[in-house]
Amino acid sequence: MRLYSPEWEAIRDFEYVPRCKDVQFDLVGSEIPADHGYSLYAALADRLPWLAGTAGAGIHPIHGAPTGRNDNLVINRRVKLVLRVPVERLDDVHRLVGTHIDSGAGELAIGAAKDRQLLPFAHLYSPLVVFDSDDEVEFLAAARAELEKMAVQCGMIPGKRRKMRLPGGEVWGYSLMLHDVGQEQSLRVQEQGLGHHRAYGCGLFVPHKSIKEVAAG
């Protein structure tokens, strides 16, 4: 029996033809660098050379607990590898099953895959969005301008300023919550993302049930 959820009740009858889906893979290994955006992309790009140049494609940040002894995260059975890809690339990305990669902290085995449909929640969250400026006012102006180009009207709440290491140096951005997003607009944002470096995990949005946590992260 499904517990009552106002968010689910609001979207359960919404129908659309998906342009992108999330593909979730089991992941077996010990650790992954906490700052793994580029290194994870580089490890996967050898097997998915189309990834960086494909609109709508990206790699979600991997969430794990800090090891407490280095700058890595622990990989356990709950930790998943998730890629967002256009539906026409689903067969290609499923070829990752059974392969091995190394993103800088030891070998990782990629296991079984599940396709996940994007859900049109009214609250969306991305842990890191990057534009050309790391000034918060300019960052919000750039985010607003990009949303307007997508015909998306919603509220925005920036969170912590964060950085990612790339081969050319560090890039800075903010976590970002979008709230009161319409259903079609929600899917548009999830399919297109915001800002730069989608392949490295930046600007990918996922449904969020509350706007309360963004201030903490």
Note the pLDDT tens digit of each residue in 88-140.
Answer: 999 999 999 999 999 888 899 999 999 999 999 999 999 999 999 989 999 99
- Check if CATH label 3.30.70.1890 holds for domain 20-117: yes
Report residue 21 as tokens: 């889906």
- The pLDDT value given to residue 17: 75
Q: Give 173-193 pLDDT, tens digit per residue.
A: 999 999 999 999 999 999 999
Mean pLDDT over residues 16-31, rounded?
A: 91
Q: Where do the DSSP E strands lie in the chain? A: 20-28, 31-33, 58-59, 72-74, 80-86, 100-102, 107-117, 124-129, 155-166, 169-179, 206-207
CA distance readout (Å), 159 to 29, 118, 156, 171: 31, 23, 10, 16
**pTM for the structure as a whole:** 0.88
Mind listing the pLDDT tens digit for each residue in 42-56? 999 989 999 988 988
Sequence spans of domains, the chain: 20-117, 124-216
Let me know the angle formed at the C-alpha of 187 by 181 and 190, rounded to the nearest 5 degrees.
95
Q: Is the pLDDT of residue 4 over 60?
A: no
CATH topology assigned to domain 124-216: Alpha-Beta Plaits (3.30.70)
CB atoms < 10 A from the CB of 188, how many? 17
Question: What is the pLDDT confidence band of residue 144, given thresholds at 50, 70 and 90?
Answer: very high
Per-residue b or e along 164-176, where b marks 16 or more CB atoms closer than 10 Å to that residue's CB: beeeeeebebbbb
**Is 124-216 in the same CATH topology as 20-117?**
yes
